[in-house]
């Protein structure tokens, strides 16, 4: 099989820089793709954190004026990735959050900053770096949305392009007067092009001009063609339905491995689930809950946002209490929800830690009985994949990747011995809590669900195979 060369373009990649799930995907896929015969170079903005991490950087291309200043492409290894960093100090030599200034607002020149990333990606796609001409340019989210656009309007032979949407809620919307500044032809403006309700959307640019569109679960791929989930892009996605597909995310099964996890008090596997009891007790103590092995312990590990349905959960706290259940919440996000969650703390029954805490997230998954995910929409969701791996039964709303990764414990699935969790529609959250507690009280059924979940393949192997097949289909 011929080795494929891929240029992955994104604004973040773990471990170099991460603000969300996007970084997990762009950071993990290259290694998994290597096993599928796809060699990946990852193009990132030359933020300070990225440049500092580059080992033995070499300048492989220079340009005197990239949207108002000189720039070069630095090649090197960083964080286990083969990186091409766009070193453009006038755009990227800013520390802190990659999108926001110190005042917490978007940098005023974000359109230009990410157009620059995409412009250089397109140029690399066209072969400006000696010895590297990618077969496919794979752009992630709006920050890389213009890569396919520039390639579409370029003369001559170009690589195939793939646009992946990690969350349609971020359109990368800017004022229409920027068209010329971004180097886009007049022909690109209009409903058939980058125009989005009178503005320019860099995400739409990618969705219009990429050869293929993917998103991070099959169900989300179907949902986003409907007005309820389409965020204004559903018409376009219906028109392009033939090139839209969903490929699930995976998780790093070395980092998330309960048999070998240094962040939890008691390591375990599917064969000795009894050891989870020590983790449950540790979690109860940590969260100020009564240390009671019999109480069903629900956990939430989440951004606290409207998307994640945290307000819906708050409304169901009496239902949890009615069933003698406990709740442990780890999350941060919208100030109002943080305050409401903190205000809901009830010693012995409801505990809450408001921050991002990777280590505590491991203890939550290892010690809680069930992980509650009442999302209104969920492109893929990673937290339920971690839960499956840790014998923590996911209780999830039936949307997006949650629908694709959890097998509901309905009568048929229980009798066939394949159930891994509970699914609900949002208006049934209370009933789902009741149903989960009933399942929990049936020890035989519950441990079968835990064991089934732990057997599920949540690694990157399957997704990498699917991406490799997609690339090969494009290249021929």
Question: What is the crossing angle of helices 276-286 and 358-367, to 10°?
Answer: 130
Given the complex with ligand ADP, which of 296 and 331 has the nearer CB atom? 331
- Interface residue with ligand ADP among 93, 336, 356, 442 (CB under 6 A) is 356
- Interface residue with ligand ADP among 12, 16, 17, 21 (CB under 6 A) is 21
- Interface residue with ligand ADP among 29, 283, 386, 406 (CB under 6 A) is 386
CA distance linking residue 60 with residue 445, whole number of Å: 59
Cα-based distances in Å from 459 to 389, 394, 421: 10, 17, 18
Given the complex with ligand ADP, which of 61 and 460 has the nearer CB atom? 460
Is 125 one of the binding residues for ligand ADP (CB under 6 A)? no
Q: How far is the CB of 371 from ligand ADP (least distance, A)?
A: 9
- Interface residue with ligand ADP among 193, 381, 421, 463 (CB under 6 A) is 381
Q: How far is the CB of 21 from ligand ADP (least distance, A)?
A: 3
What six digits make up the tokens of 316? Answer: 């169901």
Is 254 one of the binding residues for ligand ADP (CB under 6 A)? no
Is 257 one of the binding residues for ligand ADP (CB under 6 A)? no
- Interface residue with ligand ADP among 110, 214, 279, 383 (CB under 6 A) is 383
- Interface residue with ligand ADP among 58, 358, 411, 443 (CB under 6 A) is 358
Stretch that binds ligand ADP, among 74-82, 378-386, 403-411, 442-450 (CB under 6 A): 378-386
Given the complex with ligand ADP, which of 361 and 370 has the nearer CB atom? 361
- Interface residue with ligand ADP among 11, 26, 161, 302 (CB under 6 A) is 302
Q: How far is the CB of 245 from ligand ADP (least distance, A)?
A: 19
- Interface residue with ligand ADP among 121, 301, 313, 350 (CB under 6 A) is 301
The residue ranges that bind ligand ADP (CB under 6 A) are 20-21, 301-303, 330-332, 356-358, 361, 380-383, 386
């Amino acid at each position: 099989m011929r080795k494929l060369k891929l240029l992955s373009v994104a604004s973040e990649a773990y471990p170099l820089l991460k603000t969300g799930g996007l970084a997990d995907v762009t950071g993990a896929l290259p290694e998994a793709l290597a096993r599928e015969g796809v060699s990946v170079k990852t193009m990132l903005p030359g933020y300070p954190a990225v440049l500092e991490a580059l080992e033995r950087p070499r300048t492989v291309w220079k340009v005197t004026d990239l949207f108002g200043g000189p720039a070069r492409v630095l090649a090197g290894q960083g964080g286990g990735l083969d990186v091409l960093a766009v070193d453009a100090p006038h755009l990227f030599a800013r520390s802190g959050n990659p999108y926001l200034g110190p005042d917490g607002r978007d940098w005023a020149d974000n359109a230009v900053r990410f157009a620059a990333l995409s412009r250089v990606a397109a140029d690399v796609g066209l072969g400006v770096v000696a010895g590297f001409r990618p077969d496919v340019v794979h752009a992630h989210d709006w920050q890389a949305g213009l890569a396919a656009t520039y390639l579409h309007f370029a003369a001559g032979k170009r690589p195939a392009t793939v646009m992946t949407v990690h969350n349609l809620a971020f359109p990368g919307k800017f004022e229409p007067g920027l068209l010329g500044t971004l180097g886009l032809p007049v022909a690109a403006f209009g409903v058939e092009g980058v125009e989005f309700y009178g503005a320019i959307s860099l995400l739409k640019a990618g969705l219009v001009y990429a050869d293929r569109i993917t998103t991070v679960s099959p169900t989300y791929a179907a949902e986003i063609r409907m007005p309820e989930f389409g965020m204004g892009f559903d018409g376009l996605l219906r028109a392009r339905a033939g090139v839209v597909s969903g490929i699930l995310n995976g998780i790093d099964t070395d980092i998330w491995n309960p048999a070998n996890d240094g962040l939890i008090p008691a390591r375990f596997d599917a064969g000795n689930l009894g050891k989870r009891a020590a983790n449950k007790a540790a979690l109860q103590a940590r969260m100020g809950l009564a240390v009671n092995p019999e109480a069903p312990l629900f956990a939430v590990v989440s951004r606290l946002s409207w998307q994640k349905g945290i307000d819906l959960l708050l409304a169901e706290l009496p239902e949890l209490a009615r069933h003698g259940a406990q709740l442990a919440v780890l999350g941060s996000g919208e100030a109002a929800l943080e305050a409401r969650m903190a205000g809901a703390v009830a010693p012995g029954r409801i505990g809450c830690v408001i921050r991002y805490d990777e280590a505590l997230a491991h203890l939550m998954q290892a010690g809680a009985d069930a992980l509650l995910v009442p999302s209104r929409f969920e492109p893929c969701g990673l937290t339920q994949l971690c839960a499956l791996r840790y014998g923590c039964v996911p209780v999830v709303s039936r949307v997006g990747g949650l629908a694709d990764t959890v097998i509901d414990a309905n009568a048929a699935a229980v009798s066939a011995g394949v159930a891994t969790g509970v699914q609900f529609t949002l208006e049934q959250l209370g009933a789902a809590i009741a149903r989960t507690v009933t399942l929990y009280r049936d020890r035989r059924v519950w441990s079968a669900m835990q064991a089934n979940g732990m057997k599920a393949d949540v690694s990157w192997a399957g997704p990498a195979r699917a991406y490799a097949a997609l690339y090969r289909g494009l290249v021929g």
